[in-house]
Structure 1
Amino acid sequence: MLDHRVSSGVEHGTPCFYQLRFPKLEVERWHSHFFSSRPPFLRQSAMFRAWKFVSVLLLAAVSSNSNAVHGLLSSPNGLTPAEQAARASAIAATASKISNEAREVTVRGVSYPFCWGPVARPGSLTESIVGVEAAEIDSHKDPNAEKYAAIAAATIFATEQDYLGYYDKIAQYLPRPMSTDISDETFGELRTTGFSFKIELVRKREAYGDILGHVDCKQVAQVCGPETSVSSLRALKSLYVVDFSDISQWTDPANPQKYVPNIIGFFCYNRVRNRLLPFAIHLVDQKLTYTQSDSPSEWKLAKVALNAAEVNWQNMQHFVETHLMTAPVRVELMRHTAETHPVNALVQHHCRGDIALETISTVSLFAEGTVVDKTFAMGTTGAYRYFHHQLSNKLSIYNNFIADAQARGIDSLPVSKYFKYGELHWKTFKRFIDSYLRAYYKCDADVQRDHEVQNWAKTCSTSPQFYDFPSSINSINQLSNIVLHLVFSGTVRHHSMNGLVTWESASIPYSMPSLWKPWPTRKLKPGESLNIIDYHVPVSIIPSAISTVVVFRREVKSPASTIPQSYRVAPFCSEAVLKVAIAEFEKSMAHIEEQIQREEQYEKWPYTILVPSKLPYTSNAHGLTTPNGLTATELDARASGIADIASKIKNEARYGVVGGTPYPFCWGPVARPGSMAETIVQIEANEINARKDPNAMTYVGIAATTKYETEGDYVGYYDKIASLVPRPMTTDISDETFGELRMTGFAFKIARVRDAEKYSDILEDVESEQITSICGDGITSETLVSKEVLYAVDCSDIAQWTDTTNPKKYVPNIMGFFCRKDSANQLLPLAIHLVDQELTYTPFDSPSEWKLAKMALNAAEVNWQNMQHFVETHLMTAPVRVELMRTTATSHPVNALLQHHLRGDIALETISTVSLFASGTVVDRTFAMGASGAYRYFNHQLTNKLSVHKDFLADAHERGIDTLPMPKYFKYGLLHWNALKRFISKYLSVYYADDSAVLSDNEIQNWAKACSTNPQFSDFPSSIESIEQLTNLVLHLVFSATVRHHSMNGMVTWDTVSIPYSMPSLWKAWPTSKLSEGESLNVLDYHVPVDIIPSAIGAVLVFRREAKTPTVPFSQAYAVDPFASDAGLHDAITEYQNALARIEDHVNTDEQGQKWPYRILQPSRLPFTTWI
């Protein structure tokens, strides 16, 4: 658990506005009239502007369509045609990658039908999902599991007491299981708690008469109460049965020595004692009925046999009723509804893990030689035959918790704790889900016209696993009941049947999954005896049997993973319309918690499985911890987990191949087939691919059909797509915009000139009068540097990286000079120098020459910035991530934070070697550097090594961009830097009390040491000695992968790369001299060939991936686990969100009315991951 040094008594969740609904058009008309009709003096006041800004927020809140909520979640109802088309495209893309299909498994050479579901083929979406979910599930395992098995292996088992004594040896780790108590009272109580799923009320008057007619009436009365009989028990509805009269058909025929008999157990509810008690157990094939009047050993063995049957049936039946039901339903949700559909979001949230569980179970549980195969009577083959039988008879979507309880009569059993507590959960979930759905559907008609949910229903109705899934859903109530059943089955019912409860219900020596000696053919005679240990699994198998149970015992160690905190994560916590429903849900859960704890506190075997704080809302997850303060056992388990990951992934020297020639690439992970790196790449690549612009091919198609003859034709292309994307800033080649671009999209190469001599020979070609006219009064060639107004973009050696295999395309060695004109608050181009040609161009040359010079400088910056961003972000952060995996636990706070923000870079640097930096790719054909030049540049930059100390502030001060007139990148970037620094500092202080805690954290020290030996870094510290040092390091990595990355690449690429003035190469040799009088040039002669323009547009579109989903901007960065639900982080997260709201306001205010608004760093548009 977290060792917080701050109060945890705070309200969880993120602040939300309520969404009110009024007719949109009327509100907009009122808003327009009200503000335009105010007098001029009022419209100019600060208060009026503030009120107008607030009203804009309110307008956005109130003008939502009555059928669609514009939060993170929405049904397709009420969307525009364009929104619906984009949504349908995303759904279709997912549907093309995953589907349900008939499956088979092979055991000992024999094929068995498995259930309908997804297949995890190499490279498939299913494989990616399985990889992610399996890793999560694996992280939940009991760290002491191997220790329990080892203690069992070292124990001598000879008597019943030896078996029971085993639990004393592990008492420091685990509680004694309830099923170690074989007394009648506990045996009966187990059918009201852990074994509550097969027992049912005997309703038919004559049912089981042939068996019960032979039970002595006195024996019945002795157990069930004075003057009771089988007849009176029937009449009082107090006769219950557990019927496994045909279970032996599923016994593994390949291993007949282990079995469970066909058996029936009879129980009565004793009203006087208020207990459910066993009074008879019948062995069907042997035609033997046992009661308490038989010898104690025979009665005990009969109970052991009934337990064995329940252990087999319940473990297999839970698999049918939860994983095998919910997994295909999840797949159809992915195939037919958007990620942001409220039904999809809720069901995926609660049923997460089942796709992995049903897939990995075919290897780890239900396969030849597994622990289940060796210890369960059914074995692997019996399990598959049972699954097929149950699914062939089909599941009912309507056999929900209440229907099942009523059908079996346990709703009228007063001592049924499973029903009593389960009903509390059921009613709470029902109220919440009703409210949840009504937030998105105002009436039944809204459900009926939601084509996504209707398509989902129609497909599920054809699934061979269901016989009554409706082909259409006609009301909110009907949809609510279906969703409720799925959610409840994936949570409360699942965890009541399996998981921690397995530890209580399966134990040695009285509740094992098989018997190993044939059942007697008759009862004992006087003087005879039997030893139940003879029927027990062999001693050699006991450690494996213990392991079987421990597989399912995965405790919830973080409150964030429990049902009460289900909705404290995105997208739910960010939905204003759910705020009240979530609050009521949590309040109800608190009441349930209090009631169960109160009623169970004095019980011999407290039934706490359904205590909300112990109940996972999906696959449970751990909280964040450093290794400090853990026990030796916990440290061993943690170290083992780290070592396991370290054995699967590492950094190593890599090469990129272009045209058959290998080029040294960066240090990083290699995605070999079957490797962990390959799995990560597949998962992240799928995420990245899902973000592509759905209209990309439309833009390329329009570019291909456009005629390009004049500059107006080129620029006019953007008019043709203006309804889809904004015109790029670089289509404006005016000096004002050309200069402004160096303070926004091209802000990363420019630097203030501090050395007056450095460029003096070049600037001598510019006359002082010209300098003064551009830069302002008092600025001459002699005062440019001293007055700190001269800036340079120095690409004087960039041509060395030009692609030598295609010399037609190039960028020249070039330098651009800019001056700060304070009177106009502008940065203006002063001169552009072509190094090799020794030609200096100024605004006073012919317009075409000056324009061409600006195009050349743009081309140089396009090449440099796109390659440099790759060095400074992906190639720096990917190996750091790998070392984090190899040296720190997944639950380490630094690991969690960096993996969260750096997600995507391992895939990006890997797939880029194929999709970007390879022969014939768009980059290879259009960029001057091409693929080979890119690799040479990367190697040069990395050989000269990166500095982890050259962070945002250090870089800005070194280049002097903090003194630019409108340094928008620096100005807005500084706001983000300061906000992130405050958050990360507070974040780390939650886990480290002082500097000594950092020093003693062996995981973080191992990470630093490993990174310090990376050949790409010049100064990564080999040890970290303070919280401040760690803060600065983490801050630099997070900022580089997010704010700096998205400022250099991604959406900004659309603004910085465009036809015809800012392309990635020139295609005609540069003039050897300036134009003479009467001569002219056409800048289009230098442009990329017309037939390459569609490819060039495509190259830009690769990077244009909008953060359209509201869950990805920075404002939602910590609205997910493990951050959102951690009380110790609540204040820091709230403060950070407030800071981002101020930044949003700041950017909006500053950019309003700008010709080229710079909104890249607007928090609502800024993804919190590497993204692309």
Structure 2
Amino acid sequence: MHVQYFVAKALAALLLQSIHATAAVLPRQSVSVDSSNPADALLRAVKSLDTTGAKHVDNVTTDHSVSTFTIAQGSNSSLSRSSAIDVKRLNFLYGPPVGGGPYFPTGALGTARVAADTVAIQLDEVPQLTGSALDNTEATLKSSQYDGLDTVGDYTKLYPDNFERTLPGRPVPGALTNFTQDLFFSMERLSNSPYQVRRLDPSTDTLQFRFDDSTAKKVGGSTLDSLFQTGRLFYADYRDQAELPKTTRYGAACDAYFYIEESSGDFLPLAIRTNVGTNLIYTPEDSPNDWLLAKIMLNANDFWFAQWMHLAQTHEVVQIAYMAAIRTLSEQHPVLALLNRLMFEVFAIQPLAQVVLFTPGAVVDQIFPYTGLAAQDYTTNLYKNKGAGRFKSNYFQAELQSRGLIDSSFGPALKHFPFYKDASIIFSAQKAFMRSFVESYYASSAAVKADGELQAWVEEAQGPAEAIDFPSISTTSDLVDVLTHFAHLASTAHHTVNTNELLDISSNLPFHPPALYKELPITKNVSNVAEYLPPFDKVLTQMSTGALFARPKLVGTDRTLIHQFDDEAMLSRMNAETRAAAATFKREMEAFSSEVNSRAFDADGLSQGMPFVWQALDPNVAPYSITT
């Protein structure tokens, strides 16, 4: 079954299910569904639950005619305000997980919000699916031009004249020409997939595998132990994929060493171990075909890891913390208004993942080496048990420090770290906005402690919501950090590994298949790597899957990161300091976008120290919210 057809049916089913569920829990006389505008009908239905006299009890309203936002102190903590929160607490409830992970909204208001988010994401998906279907049809008609995909080079012929609707920007410069370079492979760990690799600490870590010193010296200029002891050895571990329930395709369960080359300072691959079959260990000293296949095997493992890690570490983390905020903060509270902006479409993701990705026979079963149900369980395990669900511990710099990628107390610093460089610029601007926002509403930390709604949010998140590692908020700095982390997870953390980046580089063929199509070799000296790559029909399925999560049509619109706080309806109810801070953020993002957009190769054929041009965090390309 074609992915587009499957997804279209799933979206329609989710929308109808949400509408029917809303109608079932709301008073019959309050539901008036206008088929021409289901979103408005759902919002009217939600608003009909307000029996307190308050004008704002729903967190999805588009009516911004009431007075300015106010924090909950003194006379602002009115009876009508607290009563409106009580209505939400009775009607926006914690339900069973959907698609794994934490609780998911239920109750009248919860169901209605899910339905509204589903309407919004459907509007984004339909043109994507339509364009992808047309692209696939045209690519099929030209299939003879790819020479049967008999060689690795044949796969690069797929892109130049195809998929212009799905991938209008084409693969990033260098992706189709430089992918065999070791520096290309290693620097992907520091740009478009930066969430696995870590520096090994000789005081606490041990070497997970060894190979002969002579090969290590030829490749890395030193023995493995010397690289380890000097803090120049890094590690990536995908061994937890070895025992996952399998489909008919194949996958390794690689772990790998990377190192900092002493003279050049380059970050390079050292060795890859497969952990399946005869457990071969590959290095750059192997034949070009064997070494290329080893890198492709690791990329397939990383494809699996990165997608489920991003689901657990971004979507699911903000989802549960936001649910706690909805249940405790008034619709008149500026913090909730800000979260509403950042969390656009957030509740559409888990149902979409469950139906489109995880259901037996759905997308994961079609293109990965492991099943959709395995993907759901893998994601949940990352969220609950592997650290992905932690809120405070995964703050931007703290998480990178914990892996020895920045501010390491041992070993040399990374010469180039493109993800950190780009994300830092955006993160700093987000934090400056949040600082202005918080300090304009709270004159002191004492005012933060005195905000009963804010403290109720913390109590709710740490208690009934069971959010993992959600911090106490006792100072203005605490609140700045929490809100900045929301903005980071919704933008830089997410769009580094998903959205447009996914098609631009992370699922480009031939270097990034989600699975292998031939049993892994038990000896070296592979003659043709293409035998392990997807056949043409699976290429189309892979492209369709990427199209489902890409958002090229948002590029240059008011949905991009430039406009993360640029919402007139929201800002008109904020104070002057917040409006000024939003304008500053917008200017800074416009300037940074110009810088990113102008990137090209330097005289050495590199960009940011890489043999490809990485622009995933261009603020005029990346969406402002956690949309896919």
Tell me the TM-score normalized by structure 2: 0.82
Cα deviation, residue 823, structure 1: 4.4
Match of 2:80 among 623, 637, 641: 637
Q: Counterparts of 1:1120-1159 in structure 2 under 5 Å?
A: 1120-1125=567-572, 1126-1148=575-597, 1151=600, 1153=602, 1154=607, 1155-1159=611-615
Query: What code does the residue aligned with 2:582 have?
Result: I
1:1067 Cα deviation from its structure 2 partner: 2.7
1:886 corresponds to 2:335: no
Q: Encode CA deviations 1:1058-1109: one digit per residue, 9 max, x unaligned.
A: 222211112322222334xxxx432222223443221122111112212324
Determine the structure 2 residue equivalent to 1:899.
Answer: 340
Give the match for residue 1040 of structure 1: 489
| More relative contact order, 1 or 2 (CA 8 Å, 6+ apart) | 2
Q: Is the 8 A contact 1:973 1:1043 kept in 2?
A: yes
Aligned residues of 2:251 and 2:520 also touching (Cα < 8 A): no
Match of 1:739 among 164, 186, 190: 186
Partner of 2:242, secondary structure, is helix
Aligned partner of 2:72 among 627, 644, 665: 627
1:960 aligns with: 404
The CA distance in 2 between the partners of 1:137 and 1:674, in whole Å, is 14
d(CA) in 2 for partners of 1:976 and 1:144?
A: 35
Structure number, greater radius of gyration = 1
| Superposed counterparts of 1:41-120, under 5 Å | 120=33
**Are 1:799 and 2:235 counterparts?**
no
- C-alpha distance in structure 1 between counterparts of 2:492 and 2:357, whole Å: 23
Aligned length in residues: 563
User: Could you give the per-residue CA deviations for residues 553-589 of structure 1, whole angstroms, max 9, x where no partner exists?
Assistant: xxxxxxxx9xxxxxxxxxxxxxxxxxxxxxxxxxxxx
Q: Report how far residue 1037 of structure 1 moved.
A: 1.8
1:1059 is aligned to 2:495: no
Deviation at residue 956 of structure 1 after TM alignment: 0.9
Matched, 1:1006 2:456: yes
Q: Which amino acid is the alignment partner of residue 120 of structure 1? A: V
Equivalences for 1:964-1043 in 2 at 5 Å?
Answer: 964-1013=414-463, 1017-1021=467-471, 1023-1043=472-492
Instruction: Specify the alignment match of 2:29 in structure 1.
Output: none
How far apart, in 2, do the equivalents of 1:789 and 1:782 lie? 10
Kept in 2, the 8 Å contact 1:667–1:1014? The answer is no
Structure 1 counterpart SS, 2:272: strand
Distance 2:337 2:374 in 1: 36
Counterparts of 2:298 and 2:230, CA distance in 1: 25
- 1:813 equivalent to 2:253? Answer yes
Using the alignment, how far apart are the partners of 1:1032 and 1:867 within structure 2?
A: 25
Residue 819 of structure 1 aligns to a residue in which SS?
strand
Question: CA, structure 1 residues 757+627, in 2 after alignment: closer, same or farther (shift >3 Å)?
Answer: closer
1:460-518, CA deviations, whole angstroms, 9 ceiling, x for partnerless residues? xxxxxxxxxxxxxxxxxxxxxxxxxxxxxxxxxxxxxxxxxxxxxxxxxxxxxxxxxxx
CA, structure 1 residues 891+1015, in 2 after alignment: closer, same or farther (shift >3 Å)?
closer
**Residue 1101 of structure 1 aligns with which residue?**
547
Shift of residue 757, structure 1, vs aligned partner: 8.8
Q: Which amino acid aligns with 2:345?
A: G
- The answer as to 2:521 corresponding to 1:1071 is yes
Q: Which residue of 1 aligns with 2:134?
A: 698
What is the percentage of aligned positions where both structures have the same residue?
22
Q: Which digits, 9 at most, give the CA deviation of each residue in 1:577-622, with x for residues without a partner?
A: xxxxxxxxxxxxxxxxxxxxxxxxxxxxxxxxxxxxxxxxx86233
Unaligned runs of 5+ in 2: 1-14, 16-31, 407-412
2:40 matched to 1:129?
yes
Could you say if the C-alpha distance between residues 674 and 869 of structure 1 is closer, same or farther in structure 2, counting changes exceeding 3 Å?
Answer: closer
The answer to whether the 8 Å contact 1:948/1:1020 transfers is yes
Contact 1:651 1:879 (8 Å CA) reproduced: no
Indicate conservation of the 8 Å contact 2:46/2:108, yes or no.
Answer: no
Amino acid at match of 2:342: H
Matches within 5 A, 1:391-410: none
Q: Taking structure 1 as reference, are residues 143 and 764 closer, same or farther at Cα in structure 2, changes over 3 Å only?
A: closer
Q: Is the 8 Å Cα contact of residues 671 and 681 (structure 1) preserved in structure 2?
A: no
1:1164 to 617, 620, 623: 620
2:437 & 2:445 partners in 1: Cα distance?
14
Distance 1:747 1:1068, change over 3 A: same
Contact 1:649 1:676 in 2 (8 A): no
2:298 matches 1:857: yes
The answer for the alignment partner of 1:926 in structure 2 is: 367
SS in 1 for 2:256: strand
What SS class does the counterpart of residue 669 from structure 1 fall into? strand
CA positional deviation for 1:133: 6.0
1:871 Cα deviation after fit: 0.3
Mark the runs of 5 or more structure 1 residues left unpaired by the alignment: 1-96, 98-118, 146-355, 357-560, 562-617, 657-663
Give SS of 2:461's match.
helix
User: Kindly tell me: are residues 675 and 739 of structure 1, through their superposed partners in 2, closer, same or farther at Cα, counting changes over 3 Å?
Assistant: closer
- Paired with 2:161 and 2:263, the residues of 1 have a C-alpha distance of 38
CA shift for structure 1 position 1170:
0.8
Matches of 1:144 and 1:1037, distance apart in 2: 27
Alignment deviations for residues 665-698 of structure 1 (CA, whole Å, 9 cap, x no partner): 5322148899324433333333432563653123
- The 1:1163/1:766 distance shift into structure 2, 3 A limit, reads farther
Aligned to 2:229: 786
Q: 1:766 to 1:849 in 2, by over 3 A?
A: farther
Provide the rounded CA distance (Å) in 1 between the counterparts of 2:404 and 2:565.
Answer: 33
Residue 742 of structure 1 and its aligned partner are, at CA, apart by 1.4
Shift of the alpha carbon at 1:1145? 4.5
Aligned-residue Cα RMSD (Å) equals 3.1
After TM superposition, list the pairs within 5 Å mapping 1:483-498 onto structure 2: none
Secondary structure of 1:1159's partner?
coil
Cα pair distance change 1:799/1:1036, threshold 3 Å: same
Cα deviation digits, residues 54-79 of structure 1 (max 9, x gap):
xxxxxxxxxxxxxxxxxxxxxxxxxx
SS of residue paired to 1:1048: coil
